[in-house]
Structure 1
Amino acid sequence: MGTHLAVHGGTPVRGARPWPRWPRPAPGAGEALADVLTSGRWSIASPHTGEPTRERRFAAEFAAYLGTGHCVPTASGTAALMTALEACGTGAGDEVIVPALSWAATASTVLGVNAVPVFADVRPDTLCLDPAAVEAAITPATKAIVVVHLYSALADLDALQAIAGRHGLALVEDAAQAHGAGYRGLKAGTFGDVGTFSMHHTKVLTSGEGGAAVTDDPQLARRIEHLRADGRVRGTAAPVAGLPELVETGELMGSNRCLSEFQSALLSAQLTELDAQNAVRRDNAALLDRLLGDDLGLVPQRTSPHTTERTYFGYAVRLPDHVVEAVPATAVAEAVTAELGLHVRPVYQPLYASPLYDPASRPRFAISPDHLKRVDPAPYDLPVAHHANRSFLTFHHSALLGTTADIHDIAEAFGRVLDHHTHLTH
């Protein structure tokens, strides 16, 4: 091909030097897990041992960290979203407005409560839900709005709170990619009726799998507790050693979506490292913004006004227009990946075009021909989300935990590929 790009057999920028490993265990994580191992209690449904559960301890710690009244840990971020939607009264036939650009669970959880996802376009700079698109999508059937803070950006919470309030809609704030981020000096996840988090392997606060729903409303918290523990909640009386701590109230049927004691103990340890790790990512991202933006003409993802603390689940950057017009983003991503040994890829496909969102593939959603028609994603074609997938690339936050030399490697790789981008059209 006449280039020295690694994808064409040239010497890569990075070579075999490893990137920072993720996840990385916090000090004390091993001891915390060993303590659970010998505790005689691996689940909150196990008999009480005389000590508070690890799950209860993490819930209190995370609520205090966020500055919210209640935290209910869950088995996953998906479980947190589903229980949040149900707790807010969302059900069969209701419409829920969701961003067109997000992970599949943003829409599949809406389907999971028999509601109808309605896709709204995103802003071209933040890639987060566009308030104007939300306003235009509201119908008499609309019950809730799910706002997602994506990659490293926070959505326009001022505008979305105002819209939800004006129309009497529940606002569910998906902060699965924004642990520790701040807006107007308050933590992300505390602005909606319910905030939800994922603690999946990829997230900046992780226990491999896991999640949490947070709220200031005690009634919503109680509903979420029922929904994630087969209709059981902790009793009001002091627990007795050897007896179950969960009480069968009969108030609300639920499912088993509880977090294990191992995961809870691990999260308590990992939480102590979150702010320091976020600070390292933020500093390295600022350096990369300068190297890619000022020197190479790429445009880093922006965040909404009033963001006071930015966090990075993924670093996202828009390719120059002349590159996007000449070569697919997938080809640029493949070439940068070859230079770095770091997985660089386009941002999410629009949900309505994603192979991970296909209601017709699940018989459980064939409630009626009318319902299948309402959840069919085929009619959607939202230009900003579509263009974002064609023009933005992203990589995982773990690379931002490296040194300034690592950041310069990333910039050098992008520069090398952009210099030879016309050779990538094969």
Structure 2
Amino acid sequence: MTTGLAVDGAAPVRGGRPWPPWPQPASGAGLALLDVLHSGRWSIASPCTGEPTRERRFADDFASYLGTGHCIPTASGTAALMTALEACGVGAGDEVIVPALSWAASASTVLGVNAVPVFVDIDPETLCLDPAATEAAITPATKAIVVVHLYSALADLDALQSVAGRHGLALIEDAAQAHGATYRGLKAGTFGDVGTFSMHHTKVLSSGEGGAAVTDDPDIARRIEHLRADGRVRNPDFPGTGMPELVETGELMGSNRCLSEFQSALLSAQLTDLDEQNAVRRANAALLDELLGELGLRPQRTSRGTTERTYFGYAAALPDHVLRTVPSTAVARAVTAELGLHVRPVYQPLYSSPLYDPASRPRFAIGPGHLERIAPGRYDLPEARRAADAFLTFHHSALLGDASDMHDIAEAFRRVLALGSRLAR
């Protein structure tokens, strides 16, 4: 019978067995990259070769997969969010509602277009934006709502679409952690005026870095194209071999936020494995929900409209009686030591995150009173704070294992919770 914890020198639950690696290259990924390497075209700004760019091929593939009219690849999820905000008319001094519990880019992108992020509390079960709190936060200065599908949950899109519609606000759907998830049978990212995705190393669809914005609105799509390619758009007609394919329209100034041809080719290959990998994650997460639920943990829930979940991260709240004596950070360290798997608390509320500090950037002092409007110290949102204290999470790659791996995770939590009083010393 186990009498100690790995953090105290006892033998760990896992015993050094490796977890599934991530990213995992799809079967055609290597050939796709070699094809670009020898193509003579590594960027969409390269001279035309007579073949469609890999970026255009991925854009078509991803738009078809999602069932949306337009996909504009970008250099990152951050770039997708910033161009989406600007394309929806958000600018200096406008307020944008964002969830208090999210990655830093949810707020920093709003700052990046000289607007004001307004932090709103979350639903305690899904950890996503609370629709009632969202409506209560709307002011005459509000221009848009950014809804984030967090870890494995989809937000209440029915309610949020209704709120946005009643108040004439743009709804931007951040699906960076929800590739392939569905809500009422439709893919996440297709419900807002714009949907944005990240293809960072950590994401379930990855090219190391990268992103995409999707929309059914052709005017918004054209603005995003300009914004991400220095004010240029793709020529719909063949310009001739060796000629530039991007047209300088003079319609809208932009910046260079383009995805490379290597990343685009890799994403088209990786997309072929996405649904199968998501199915494995779902099955293992369902088993883990059962195993951890028996220990008193509370797995993250998703909104009622969800028809298919995906898992960027698996998240579960520790029992209240444990949290009364042991902080979640101590439990996370102990479980990590048992498993050799990075288990950690969920994001800190953005207003208390060290990654959100507008005063550290002189560029945001754009006028009298603006720094006061964007200062984080005026917020203290109880559900976001409680979730940050209670929920632990780990990366989706562990869910690509088998049932024995899920039992290892449950056993590690069982051991740590049973002996957790030692962590309080």
Alignment TM-score, normalising by the size of structure 2: 0.99
**Alignment partners' CA distance in 2, 1:17 and 1:416:** 18
Distance in 1 (alpha carbons) for counterparts of 2:235 and 2:61: 20
Give the SS at the match of 1:332. helix
Structure-2 residue corresponding to 1:14: 14
Residue identity opposite 2:324 in structure 1: E
Alignment map for 1:285-304 (pairs within 5 Å): 285-293=285-293, 295-304=294-303
**C-alpha distance in structure 1 between counterparts of 2:217 and 2:144, whole Å:** 17
2:417 maps to what in 1? 418
CA deviation map 1:362-400 (0-9, x unaligned): 010011240000000001000000000100000000000
User: Is the aligned partner of 1:263 residue 2:263?
Assistant: yes
Cα distance, 1:415 vs. partner? 0.4
How far apart, in 1, do the equivalents of 2:51 and 2:141 lie?
Answer: 47
Provide the residue aligned with 2:31 in structure 1: 31
Does the Cα contact within 8 Å between 2:104 and 2:350 map onto a contact in 1?
A: yes
SS of residue in 1 equivalent to 2:63: helix
2:385, 2:183 → 1: CA distance? 27
Between 232-241 and 53-62, the greater mean CA deviation after superposition: 232-241
2:353 matches 1:350: no
Aligned match of 2:378: 379
In the other structure, the counterpart of 1:395 is 394
State how far apart, in whole Å, the 1-side matches of 2:15 and 2:250 are.
Answer: 60
Equivalents in 1 of 2:269, 2:97: separation in Å?
A: 36
Say if 2:81 and 2:213, in contact at 8 Å, map to a contact too: yes
- Kept after mapping to 1: 8 A contact 2:50/2:238: no
- Please tell me whether residue 333 in structure 1 is matched to residue 301 in structure 2: no
Listed as ranges, the matches of 1:61-100 within 5 Å are 61-100=61-100
Q: Distance in 2 between matches of 1:62 and 1:234?
A: 18
Task: Give, in angstroms, the shift of residue 239 of structure 1.
Answer: 2.6
Alignment pair present for 1:134 and 2:134? yes
Q: C-alpha deviations, 1:26-68, integer Å up to 9, x for none? A: 0010000000000000000000001000000000000000000
- Report what 1:321 is aligned to: 320
CA distance in 2 between counterparts of 1:29 and 1:237 reads 29
Report the AA paired with residue 375 of structure 1: I
Per the alignment, residue 49 of structure 1 pairs with 49
SS of the aligned residue for 1:296 comes to: coil
Deviations 1:184-213 (A, max 9, x none): 000000000000000000000000000000
Larger CA deviation: 364-373 vs 26-35: 364-373
- Letter of the 2:142 counterpart: T
Question: Matched residue of 1:272: which SS?
Answer: helix
1:152 aligns with 2:181: no
**Structure 1 residue runs of 4+, over 3 Å off?**
none
CA distance in 2, matches of 1:37, 1:48: 15
| 1:81-103 deviation per Cα after TM superposition (whole angstroms, max 9, x unaligned) | 00000000000000000000000
Deviation at 1:3, TM superposition (A): 4.8
RMSD value, Cα: 0.8
Identity over aligned pairs, percent: 81
Amino acid at match of 2:153: A
Whole-angstrom CA distance in 2 between matches of 1:369 and 1:207: 41
Q: Name the amino acid aligned to 2:378.
A: P
**What residue in structure 2 maps to residue 307 of structure 1?**
306
**Structure 1: runs of 5+ lacking an equivalent:** none
Show structure 2 runs of 5+ residues with no match.
Answer: none
| 2:83/2:227 contact within 8 Å kept | yes
Aligned to 2:111: 111
State the alpha-carbon separation in 2 of the partners of residues 322 and 240 from structure 1: 70
1:236 Cα deviation after fit: 2.9
Shift in Å, 1:237: 2.3
| CA apart distance, 1:179 | 0.0
Q: Secondary structure at the match of 1:279?
A: helix
Q: Which amino acid aligns with 2:297?
A: L
> What SS does structure 2 have at the residue aligned with 1:7?
helix
Q: Indicate the residue corresponding to 1:164 in structure 2.
A: 164
Query: In structure 2, what is the Cα distance between the partners aligned to 1:283 and 1:136?
Result: 38
Q: How many residues align?
A: 424
Rounded Cα–Cα distance in structure 1 between residues aligned with 2:324 and 2:130: 25
| Rounded Cα–Cα distance in structure 2 between residues aligned with 1:291 and 1:379 | 40
Residue 403 (structure 1) shift: 1.0
SS at match of 2:214: strand
Pairwise CA distance, 1:422: 1.1
Q: Matched residues in 1 for 2:99 and 2:385: separation?
A: 12
Task: Tell me the amino acid that sits aligned with residue 322 of structure 1.
Answer: H
